[in-house]
Amino acid sequence: IGASVGVAQYGKDLIKLKQILSTLYESSKFKPSLVAPGGFYEKYWYERLLQVSGSSIINVLTHHLYNLGQDSDEHLERKILDPERLSRVESIFSNLSETIKIYGPWSSAWVGEAGGAYNSGGNHVSNRFLNSFCAVLWHRLMGKKVLAVSSDVHIKDFYLQLENVSRS
């Protein structure tokens, strides 16, 4: 499903979400970071988002990184061997860093999603490698233990805050 929210509305929604998080975690010693937007970097859109949302709303500005393009591209094998194409990642980071420096110095840049080709990778190019890499990475990072997680904020309070926002 292809759906999108305009940058002005998205920024306003993030302000409301930050207010909800501040209320919920007011007396908590742990404060969550607001991580957004989770899409491909578009200079104007990201600049506008930081302008609309304002100071200290977005803690972490994320973007997707699939430098080979779509999985069904018939030229994937050629693209993965092209050093110039693979080096374009540097310009994305450079542009995003500049956007943050000018419009959102309170925020930091993260890659929210990454891979070779989006839509599950490309046959004979990134599907097998990424799947096996992810399995190894998951095993090494997660192991066989489950860590206990706790919070002093209750999910019921979160939903009550959301209801209050939707009424206003």
pLDDT at 147 over 70: no
Choice among 13-27, 81-95, 127-141 with the minimum mean pLDDT:
127-141
DSSP for 91-121 reads HHHHHHHHHHHHH-TT-EEEEEEEEEEETT-
The DSSP secondary-structure symbol of 6 reads -
Q: Please give the pLDDT value at position 125.
A: 66
Under the banding of pLDDT at 50, 70 and 90, the label for residue 134 is low
Question: d(Cα 164, Cα 20) in Å, to the nearest integer?
Answer: 10
pLDDT per residue as tens digits for the range 150-164: 666 666 666 677 677
Q: Please give the pLDDT value at position 24.
A: 92
Sign of CA dihedral 129, 91, 32, 162: negative
Q: Please give the pLDDT value at position 2.
A: 66
More confident residue, 115 or 44: 44
Chain-wide mean pLDDT for the chain? 80
% helix, strand, coil for the chain, step of 5:
50, 15, 35
- The residues that bridge with 148 in the sheet, in sequence order, are none
Under the banding of pLDDT at 50, 70 and 90, the label for residue 117 is low
Residue 72, CA distances (Å) to 3, 22, 54, 112, 118 in order? 21, 43, 39, 22, 9
State mean pLDDT over 21-29: 91
More confident residue, 143 or 34: 34
Helices 7-24, 43-53: axis angle to 10 degrees equals 40
Range 7-164: architecture per CATH = Alpha-Beta Barrel (3.20)
Contact in structure between 122 and 116 (CB atoms under 8 Å): yes
Contacts of 166 (CB under 8 A, 6+ apart): none
Contact in structure between 114 and 65 (CB atoms under 8 Å): yes
